[in-house]
């Protein structure tokens, strides 16, 4: 019997790549995205594409209902849908903050809440959540985005403990700087939505420094490989750092005094 996976944000980036690899492994893949047009490529490879906006409860419920009616089980939920919106704390509008949390946190909440009853009934299942290195390392311009990924990490840590004895496994993927559609959206906002000149020195420097890291970073293959490992390992790890920059930034952030970290970030931004 083929295993059944639901992947959110599957129209591009990590979600698309993971869906593609799961199809090769024989999974029945329900590839979901808020933009149904973006799913055509993965549907051509054999996935079942469904429009699902993770911020809309009816969308999530409809997909879960269809999967259970057609397949009778859910083996893997990949809560991957998310986006970045880089700006200073003050320059990010309340509406933009709410949208970030609606997708990156409450979208994850809706997805895992929807599959847990079936996974408990089965006595098996696996949940993957896409976090980020900024679940540990919050930097100037990334505060609100980092807050959403801190939340994902906290949710995953608690849930992993709660469901361990129920046969359900929970893992977090932590990408670092990776060249995908994500950076064009996040840095586009940082470039085009500025409103307070007092932050120019830090924000423009951040755009140059961190934006340069993204533009020169590798593609998503390494992250996708870690996601496949998390999805298929007999004993999956709790956390999968997906690149060397993730490990390095975590070491710097946790081992050095916060004043040193602040000074380093501001030095890099103001060069």
Residue of 27, 30, 145, 240 marked active site: 145
- The structural domain count of the chain equals 1
Sheet holding 4-7, edge to edge: 48-51, 28-33, 4-7, 76-79, 125-130, 168-174, 239-241
The predicted-structure confidence for 187-203, as pLDDT tens digits, reads as follows 665 666 677 888 888 87
User: Could you list the residue range(s) of the whole structural domain that residue 209 is in?
Assistant: 4-270
Write out pLDDT tens, residues 146-197: 999 999 999 999 999 999 999 999 999 998 766 555 555 556 656 666 778 8
Instruction: Let me know if 145 is a catalytic residue.
Output: yes
pLDDT tens for 67-117 read 999 999 999 999 999 988 888 899 999 999 999 999 999 999 999 999 999
Q: Which residues contact 52 (CB under 8 A, 6 or more apart)?
A: 8, 32, 33, 34, 59, 60, 62, 63
CATH code of the domain containing 42: 3.40.50.720
């Amino acid at each position: 019997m083929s295993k059944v996976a639901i992947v959110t944000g599957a129209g591009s980036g990590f979600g698309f790549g993971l869906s593609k690899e799961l199809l090769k492994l024989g999974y029945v893949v329900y590839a979901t995205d808020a933009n149904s047009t973006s799913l055509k490529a993965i549907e051509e490879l054999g996935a079942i594409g469904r429009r699902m906006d993770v911020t809309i409860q009816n969308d999530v419920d409809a997909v879960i209902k269809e999967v259970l009616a057609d397949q009778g089980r859910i083996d893997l939920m990949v809560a991957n849908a998310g986006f970045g919106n880089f700006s200073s704390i003050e320059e990010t509008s309340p509406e933009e903050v709410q949208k970030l949390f609606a997708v990156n946190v409450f979208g994850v909440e809706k997805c895992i809440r929807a599959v847990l009853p079936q996974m408990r009934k089965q006595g098996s299942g696996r949940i993957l959540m896409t976090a980020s290195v900024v679940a540990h390392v919050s930097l100037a311009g990334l505060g609100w985005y980092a807050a959403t990924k801190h939340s994902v990490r906290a949710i995953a840590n608690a849930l992993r403990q709660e469901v361990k004895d129920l046969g359900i496994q929970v893992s977090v993927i932590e990408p670092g700087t990776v060249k995908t559609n994500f950076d064009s959206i996040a840095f586009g906002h940082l470039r085009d939505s500025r409103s307070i000149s007092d932050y120019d020195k830090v924000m423009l420097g951040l755009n140059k420094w961190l934006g340069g890291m993204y533009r020169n970073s590798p593609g998503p293959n390494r992250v996708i490989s870690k996601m496949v490992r998390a999805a298929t390992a007999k004993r999956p790890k709790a956390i999968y750092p997906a690149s060397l920059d993730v490990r390095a930034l975590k070491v710097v952030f946790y081992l050095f005094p916060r004043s040193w970290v602040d000074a380093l970030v501001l030095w890099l931004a103001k060069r």
